[in-house]
Amino acid sequence: MAITLVNPSGLPEIDVYRQVSIATGSKQVFIAGQVSWDADGKTVGAGDLAAQVEQCYLNVRTALAEIGGSFADVAKLTVYVVDWTPDKMPLLLEGISRAAAELGVTPVPPATLIGVAALSVPDHLVEVEATAVID
């Protein structure tokens, strides 16, 4: 595996992700922002932030599987949430936890959360882009 996840001493330990990832693989992979579309382009979980987060993570897995990678190869995630407010955190974490369980990864790699006004499709509440490193 090309990624090692670490929580450095002196930084808070977050349950669902690690603060640092160390990449030792030879190929960098950049995954376009994934929204909650299924394979047919239909929105999964309309109006349900947790369901959409889960689908986004699963779509990252699908993209990586196509090139011989897995979610365990993800070094960094960026998560864009429409109209972000802190009261949405439980739903975000629920979606991440469900996805992590299905993906078999705990914890997930470092992530940056960015609140945005809107995404390209009005039904989409979240978009997740990923950077991965594979051997």
Contact 33, 26 (CB under 8 A): no
Q: Which of 2-11, 43-52, 86-95, 118-127 has the lowest mean pLDDT?
A: 2-11
pLDDT one-digit tens code per residue, 35-61: 999 999 999 999 999 999 999 999 999
Distance CA 114, CA 125 (A): 12
User: Residue ranges per domain, the chain?
Assistant: 3-134
Report percent pLDDT > 70 for the chain.
Answer: 99
E strands, 3-135, where? Answer: 3-6, 20-23, 27-34, 74-82, 111-116, 126-134
CATH number of 3-134: 3.30.1330.40
Answer whether 130's CB lies under 8 Å from 105's CB: no
Query: Token pair 């991965």 is at which residue?
Result: 132
Cut 0.85: pTM above it: yes
